[in-house]
Amino acid sequence: MRLKTTSTSVIGATMILAIGAATTHAQAKSSKRIPISKEAPGEVARVDTVVRVDTITVTNTMYHTDTLMRTVTRVDSVMVPPPPPPPIILPAGFYVGAAFGSSMPTGSIFTPNSMGYIGQAHLGWQNAKQFFGARVSGTYTGLGQDSRFSDIQGSRARLWTLGTDLKLNAPLGRIFGRTPKLGLYAIGGWTYTWYQHLPFELNTSGLALVNPLNGNVFVTNNNENVFTTGADDSWHGVSGWDAGGGLSISWRSSEVFVESRVMGFRPHIDSGVLGLNNGNVNGLYAHQVPFIIGYNIY
């Protein structure tokens, strides 16, 4: 048994020597020879191979976020206007309006005056589907001068008139399509007129005129017609009446109208101006005939 083991060892050693000789021959160019000694019988040469790999990864990532908040207080001297007032809403049927146009004098004021202008403002009530209504109006009239009286008349005649009228409406419907609506109306009532510098014809029947050419009266046609010049600056007031009609076109809450009426009153003059002592002397009836165009809003 020992002989067999020894033979095996000898064979193994011989093989190792053969491998070592081949390796030595392959590394013949190396300047240093690696000594190989025969190990003790029964031992095998040990070869250790050590591979060391060091991997170091260093990652430095730094994030820095700064948030700065800046508060600025600004004071402006700005006046904020107040909110607009709410719109005026009239009760159902009420309306306000204005008109302007021309006024023709007739009657006792026809000869010494000529056509002038007129302006009007009014407040009324009448629903579109109602036949009856009412209106309160105020007018101002400035009449022209007749050339024959311009030298002695002085300033132009001026008249203020307050009218309270009833109104009768006759709706004609939408004859032009869906809109607008067309209507006719009649109007009339009581008036009060204030006048200044208004020359007018006097009723001189039964009067004995004293000093008729005193600067305040003017006599023509052999004393048949006497006209006062109204040269005084006083305002005189007298009651009267008016009557007329018009045509209106309305849509939504708006209305445009044209109108003409007769405004009648009877002016008077103090008899002292005529050199008499029997109170006021009435003139013949005087009339204004305005033709106006106006606008109403309901």
List CB contacts of 114: < 8 A, sequence separation 6 or more.
Answer: 105, 143, 144, 145, 146
Higher pLDDT, 201 or 228: 201
Burial (0-12, 13-18, 19+ Cβ within 10 Å), 191: buried
Query: Which residue segment(s) compose the domain that 204 sits in?
Result: 96-297
Distances (CA, A) of 74 to 70, 71, 77: 13, 10, 10
pLDDT greater than 70 at residue 144: yes
Give the count of domains, the chain.
1
- The confidence band for 213, taking pLDDT boundaries of 50, 70 and 90, is very low
Q: pLDDT tens digit string along 47-99?
A: 566 666 666 665 666 666 667 677 766 666 666 677 776 655 556 779 999 99
Residue 120 lies in a domain: yes
Phi-psi region of 225 (alpha: psi -120 to 50; beta: other; left: phi over 0): beta
Phi, psi of 11 (to 5 degrees): -65, -45
Does residue 189 lie within any of the structural domains?
yes
Name the more confident of 236 and 121: 121
Report the SS3 class of residue 153: helix
Q: Is the model's pLDDT at 160 over the cut of 60?
A: yes
Strand order in the sheet with 225-228: 200-202, 225-228, 217-220
pTM across the whole model:
0.62
CATH of the domain at 159: 2.40.160.20
Is residue 229 a part of any domain in this protein?
yes
> Taking a C-beta distance cutoff of 8 angstroms, is the pair 199, 230 a contact?
yes
